Amino acid sequence: MSTLSAFLELYPVINTKRGYKGGVMAFLDHIYGRQRAGRQATPEEWSRYEALAEQYRAENRDRINDLMKFNASNAAIPPLTAKTRNNAVKEFYAYIGFELSPREQKRVRLRLPKGSARTIERDLDHQTLRAILQHMDIKSKAFFLTLVSSGMRVGELVKVHTKDFSLNDSPAVITIRGEYTKTGEARFTFISDEAVDALKEWMKVRDKYMMAAANRNRGLVRKERAKERLKTDSRMFPFSQKNAGEMWTTALKNADYLSYDPSTGRSQIHIHMLRKFFRSQLALGCPVDIVESLMGHSGYLTDAYRRFTKKQMGEYYKKAEHLVTLTMPEDLEDLRQEQTEQKEVLTALASENRQLRADLLVLNDELRTIKKLMAVVTEKEVK
């Protein structure tokens, strides 16, 4: 196995591996000239990158200066992408035996573009999601309703198996094993009744889908451009994260919601915003630490599991389930709006109450002062 391939094998999380692969390829393009015709490297082009990585490892170069110039060349790309590329090269350096000191790391970081995400995202609300959902097939509806109501990462949902779903529980539960997660920590989450109904419909046609997908894939397998699809794949959704992204983009386009940020070229309604939607909506009716633990944010996992039983967490989820349900009746939508308005009124009343208490404390202080003055006057009159 080549140095570059061996380096990437250290990162089992798909997104990390993809980001580091792109970062190192961009770095080698910067040093030796662009090696690929498109965004993705063909097998032949990838072989050239592997050879260049070996060449770079053997050469006696000023690696600090190489990385500083590379970071400076990334001034026009989004800052987070530039930081990912920097981290990819830094980790690749460490793998080939070149460690940057803290001072050197600071020097190369100073050449990175300032700021964070630049893409201006559009609002993603219930109405928008309902419109997008109308342009999805059974498979896509089941997948995205599960994402919306569970808070799972896309990379997690394409890994879970059918045995990980407990659809007869109320609320239905998904067990997310440690080997599926970004952090390596196992957890569980819940999904809405709406998602359960969609999953049951998907299960009716899942075997036919797998058979058709395997047949369509045969030509690519013969040309060695794809791996053979297993008809025995036990995952609930037997397709890749890339396929999920393509499904989302197609639905956006058909619903006339596909738009790109002019400065970054990235979609303004991207698939990862479904996790943000889950977080913001469910937190309106469910304790925040429960919401965060369902999403797999490790800082909340232990705390939430210690404070609440699984049953209690499920009860809280059921009370707030309508907030992450899309095909809700209009009267339920009105109820959600009414709850939001009531919350705003209660917040205003609480603020007013705090102000009244503060005013009362001031009046009490003034009253005590007046009583003291009156006592002094009365004492003088007696004398």
Does a cis peptide bond (omega within 30 degrees of 0) precede residue 171?
yes
Higher per-residue confidence, 180 vs 331: 180
The average pLDDT across 270-299 equals: 91
The whole-angstrom distance between residue 351's C-alpha and the CA centroid of its chain comes to 34
The pLDDT, as a whole number, for residue 329 is 47
Weakest mean pLDDT among 163-167, 310-314, 330-334, 358-362? 330-334
The pTM of the full predicted model, rounded to 2 decimals, is 0.63
Higher pLDDT among residues 130 and 226, named by residue:
130
Lowest mean pLDDT among 24-28, 47-51, 69-73, 230-234: 230-234
pLDDT of residue 113: 79
CA 115, 116, 120, 124 torsion-angle sign: negative
DSSP characters over 48-107: HHHHHHHHHHHS---HHHHHHHHHHHTTTS-HHHHHHHHHHHHHHHHHTT-PPPHHHHHH
| DSSP conformation letters of 279-304 | HHHHTTTS-HHHHHHHHT-HHHHHHH
Tokens encoding 115: 């700021």
Write down the mean pLDDT value for the chain: 86
Q: Residue 380, CB half-sphere, CA atoms under 13 Å: how many?
A: 6
Span 51-68, pLDDT tens digits: 999 999 999 999 999 999
> Which two three-digit tokens encode residue 187?
């957890």
Question: Most confidently modeled of 8-12, 16-20, 236-240?
Answer: 236-240
Instruction: State the alpha helices, DSSP H only, in the chain.
Output: 3-8, 14-32, 43-58, 63-73, 79-95, 102-109, 126-133, 138-150, 154-157, 193-222, 241-254, 273-282, 288-295, 298-307, 310-320, 330-382
Q: Which amino acid is at 16?
A: T
Does 381 score more than 80 pLDDT? no
Distance CA 271, CA 261 (A): 15
Angle between helices 14-32 and 43-58 (to 10 degrees): 70
| CA 91 distance to own-chain centroid | 23
Residue 77 token pair: 């790309």
Asked: is 126-328 a CATH 1.10.3720.10 domain? The reply is no
Cα distance between residue 129 and residue 131, in whole Å: 5
Per-residue pLDDT, averaged over 33-57, amounts to 93
How many C-beta neighbours within 10 Å does residue 143 have? 26
State residue 225's pLDDT score. Answer: 52
For residue 285, CA distances in Å to 60, 243, 275, 278, 290 come to 60, 33, 16, 12, 11
Listed residue (311, 272, 318, 323) closest to 295, CA to CA: 272
pLDDT of 175 reads 97
Scan for tokens 């369902």, then name that residue: 294
Q: Are 269 and 128 in contact (CB under 8 A)?
A: yes
Average the pLDDT over 11-23 and give the result.
86
